[in-house]
């Protein structure tokens, strides 16, 4: 098939690439309008609770915008490296917890944020990649926990690392899940709400992209602990 014919083939790869590029373009436009209106809302007089909810929505919209940009790059065979910028540490983690708190509360679960006193005010990192890693870890913890709660704990480790832990009071991981822990599309024993088997794989790849590492283990007596170690510099 000639290059012109391939380009004009409505079912060919070139047409699919154009369709994906147009979809990404329109998603960017929609998100731009959403973020603009959210910025206007943030200037309104709001209660403390409503402002916290608004900040959680803004955080999620920015995360989605970053994912759309990444999808646009992948469509063009571009895989950008993490973009490290100075991030205010406490607000970043507060937004992550606020994003998942409504889902946790609907299940009757607590969702706690425990930040140690010796944390730096800012950290140079890629907030999008941290959001992707922790969003999957917190989301999994909330999804598979039926009673009790989930804790996001952040502390310094050895002076040069940030130790981020997601601990839940769920049933833990079964033997099948532990055997294929970070493999894409790997899932534990079948049951309701088992998901696609991508969350831990995404979390691990994002941790490694940031120069860190992820470990997941069962807690004796019940529950699961995911520990993400990230370099501070």
CA dist list (Å): 80 to 70, 77, 213: 8, 10, 20
pLDDT, tens digit (0-9, with 9 covering 90-100), for 131-166:
889 988 999 999 999 999 999 999 999 878 999 999
Does residue 80 sit within a domain?
no
Separation of alpha carbons 143 and 195, rounded Å:
9
Structure tokens at 200: 């831990």
Task: Identify whether residues 53 and 145 lie together within a single domain.
Answer: no
Strands lying side by side in the sheet with 213-218: 110-115, 149-157, 161-168, 224-231, 213-218
Task: Identify whether residues 163 and 204 lie together within a single domain.
Answer: yes
CATH number reported for the structural domain that contains residue 138 in this entry: 3.30.565.10
Task: Identify whether residues 99 and 58 lie together within a single domain.
Answer: no
Model pLDDT, residue 120: 92
Model pLDDT, residue 1: 45
Model pLDDT, residue 69: 73
Number of domains comprising the chain: 2
Model pLDDT, residue 80: 59
> Which ranges of the chain have pLDDT less than 70?
1-13, 25, 71-82, 187-196
Do 101 and 95 touch, CB atoms closer than 8 A?
no
| Side-chain-side CA neighbours of residue 29 (13 Å) | 6
Task: Identify whether residues 58 and 102 lie together within a single domain.
Answer: no
Task: Identify whether residues 21 and 90 lie together within a single domain.
Answer: no
């Amino acid at each position: 098939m000639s290059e012109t014919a391939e380009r004009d083939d409505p079912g060919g790869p070139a047409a699919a690439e154009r369709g994906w590029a147009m979809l990404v373009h329109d998603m960017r436009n929609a998100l731009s309008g959403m973020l603009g209106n959210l910025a206007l809302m943030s200037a309104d007089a709001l209660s403390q609770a409503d402002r916290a909810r608004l900040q959680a929505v803004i955080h999620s919209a920015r995360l989605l915008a970053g994912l759309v940009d990444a999808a646009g790059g992948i469509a063009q065979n571009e895989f950008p490296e993490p973009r490290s910028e100075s991030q205010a540490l406490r607000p970043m983690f507060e937004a992550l917890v606020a994003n998942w708190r409504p889902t946790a509360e609907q299940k009757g679960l607590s969702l706690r944020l425990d930040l140690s006193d010796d944390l730096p005010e800012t950290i140079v990192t890629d907030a999008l990649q941290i959001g992707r890693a922790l969003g999957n870890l917190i989301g999994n913890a909330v999804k598979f926990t039926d009673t009790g709660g989930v804790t996001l704990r952040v502390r310094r480790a050895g002076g040069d690392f940030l130790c981020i832990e997601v601990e839940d009071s769920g049933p833990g991981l079964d033997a099948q899940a532990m055997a294929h822990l970070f493999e894409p599309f790997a899932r534990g024993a079948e049951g309701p709400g088992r998901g696609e088997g991508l969350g831990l794989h995404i979390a691990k790849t994002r941790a490694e992209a940031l120069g860190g590492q992820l470990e997941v283990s069962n807690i004796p007596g019940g529950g699961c602990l995911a520990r993400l170690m990230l370099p501070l510099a």
